[in-house]
Structure 1
């Protein structure tokens, strides 16, 4: 089995755990491409563990949100879970724990940036959860998952009204103020062809409210919308917009993008990647890449949020209240 004992001990230190059977942790890091080149059965890869880890994670996060957020509906809990147990969130957590450098990958996958590929990091994270569960039981797996995903879970409690598509949320807010529909503009494309980074800005009445980055244009747009929503929450924002005052565009990387490297010292930090909420399993599991079924994610409007906006407004009543008041007063004048 690949992975030296020294490297495994280094990862155990990052995870905050010592395995009884290190073989489980080693297998949780073996990608199928490694076995294709070095020999071995597909059953020796992490794929079966990924299947189990996904189920364990769903139970852990569902239970935590159920107790942490007693005042929200079943539909909102589902969206919250999908926000946490999704590709970008799990990949961010894997990066914070430096899982990528411990992966066993085939040469081709390694050369194409597999150690930092979102889909692989997400799968590895789920597999490690399964390895902990098999080695030490549910409570140990729960403790690890809540530590590793602490920033994402805390963010749900802090931004409950943002669980649905932030682009839709931003449009609802600015139109409630009597402003024009937000539109998105590509600023730049950087990085190699196989791993591009898009920078997008969101504009309202031709004023830039936020900049976002992502590995896909849609991810960058969502990140920019998140930043713009932060701008909208500033107390004097409506007056500034009404007066035509310049608005300083903020960069993506606010609530979920502080210092990734400092995670082990400060569990409230996060990666410098934008707060994207879709994975190729679009904040759920994608059949195109893994053959798994799809579950509802935050990029898909729920019936609760679409029913007169009651679900969203009930969880985000503060900013919406003054925006609606401003919108009404501006229309009268």
Structure 2
């Protein structure tokens, strides 16, 4: 049986009784220790010849994020009471309020990333986001890149639905708000592929002119080891795609099951790709701390593909998806070459 399904963390109440107090306790601990920890980190940063103080910035960001998370949890608890103790959470006004809260939270989080960690970014091609319905395919190398679609789509007047990995349910605010809005936390274990694809089909089956759904076809943040394993698995069932997958240098081979389920369920939806450069290598805490503060701006570029240009057959659609991901991989390489030549 699926161990995840057997875990008590699969029960929302049990999970939140653990994750919410843990988040509060961690935030309080960071605040209480700050008067001692921050001076010590200043010394460590200076001894390491890091005058821009990455450890200090990381601690301050962790405090600010924790405080924001806790404050938002209070807000969503109040919203639950106002909705009639949860009875009207799926109503139109409640969902609009939660979407507004989601947009506000994304804006504050990006502001923290900018002011504390030095993140700079630009998004080109936002005019391609209207009209809907849209299916958004995003490159995934960092937790930060999941924020760009939320910002751009919300500011373009589109409501968005996310396909998220189930492991993110341990983040309390994502867990609570994510389940109040039409999103889906996918189980990537592969133990019930048919059920997962059916759930994704339901997610996209009623997209309207002002709706979008976001998925990251790579399925995970890539490393050389993960890329090699993905190519090996691909060779077991689709050897004709191995050479193309192995040629990808900056992206993971796209996994098409979820993407195709969404496309089949929303036959009127165009596709928009969120390509970006500047976040590679920021996959873990150590790598992020080593990069702080961010010195180079992140470039985000949007490409829109009309639905009439997307094949209907799954074999032809696989070729189309790999063509698209090859284009993305080449674009990332060109962006990197441009940055290196400017140094």
TM range (shorter): under 0.3
Flag the structure with higher helix content: 2
> TM-score normalised to the size of structure 1?
0.26
> TM-score normalised to the size of structure 2?
0.25
